[in-house]
Structure 1
Amino acid sequence: MKIKTIMFLIICSMWLVACNSTKETTTTIEIQELINFEEEKPDTLLLISDAKDIKIIEKTFKKAREFGEVDNNIVPQYKFKLSDGEYYLWIDHTKTGTIANVNSRNMFYNILATEKFKEAINYQGQ
């Protein structure tokens, strides 16, 4: 009985260590302006490494609300590379924006495009 308890504790400890080590901390977010879905604008790569800006961007993306599936041909302004994947972003002068995962670009999510978010991504209001 004692050996089973010890083995159980060892397995639980290893599992906890494995779970903690898989949590990534983002050190850089890449943002690229786009010409179309597959082509990036030259010389527009922006690397965000400020921890405060990264937190604002990640929080905005995590709070995204599913909008639904839409057949879309409108080219997004940006492509983001975050630790959990790549996303397209459609944004304008309003307080909302839309994102879609690059791998499922017809499933849309609405975001709250606050001034802090726009500053974090260096949005110039095109």
Structure 2
Amino acid sequence: MKIKTILFLIICSMWLVACNSNEETTKTIEIQELINFEEEKSDTLQLISDAKDIKIIEKTFKKAREFGEVDNKVVPQYKIKLNDDEYYLWIDNTYTGTIANVNSRNMFYNIYTTEEFKKAINYQEQQK
């Protein structure tokens, strides 16, 4: 009887671990170039599905530091859909960028835009 109980507990534990490890796994990230806050550039949608790139993007967003509330009129280059949230992204050739949640676009967060991050989102420096 003890062996059955121990075996049952081991199986239940393994099942719980397997269920928890699949939580909030991002399968794809959508990135769209923008014309203005409401209008997207046609034919610029990217679907990022590479696990390494997704991890880099998620890590960058998780490390974002609150900058504060700003009345901003500058159009972001991108809109990024990450899980159930959408963000605006302002980025250039420096190592800092800015993100804001689409639902509260005046609250800014600074991010560190490494070369690895720029490569993950296929960033191309804009020619002036």
Q: Give your verdict on TM over 0.5.
A: yes
Backbone CA RMSD of aligned residues: 1.7
Identical counterparts, % of pairs = 85
Distance 2:116 2:87 in 1: 19
Q: 3-state DSSP class of the match of 1:88?
A: strand
- 5+ residue gaps, structure 1, are 1-12
User: Partner residue of 2:117?
Assistant: 117
CA offsets 1:42-101 (integer angstroms, 9 cap, x no match):
000000000000000000000000000000010000000001400000000000000000
Aligned length: 111
> Normalising by the residue count of structure 1, what TM-score does the alignment of the two structures yield?
0.83
The one-letter code sitting in structure 1 at the alignment partner of 2:40 is: E
Q: 3-state DSSP class of the match of 2:80?
A: strand
The one-letter code sitting in structure 2 at the alignment partner of 1:80 is: I
Distance 2:106 2:22 in 1: 29
Distance 1:22 1:28 in 2: 15
Are 2:91 and 1:63 aligned? Answer: no
Distance 2:114 2:20 in 1: 31
Q: 3-state DSSP class of the match of 1:61?
A: helix
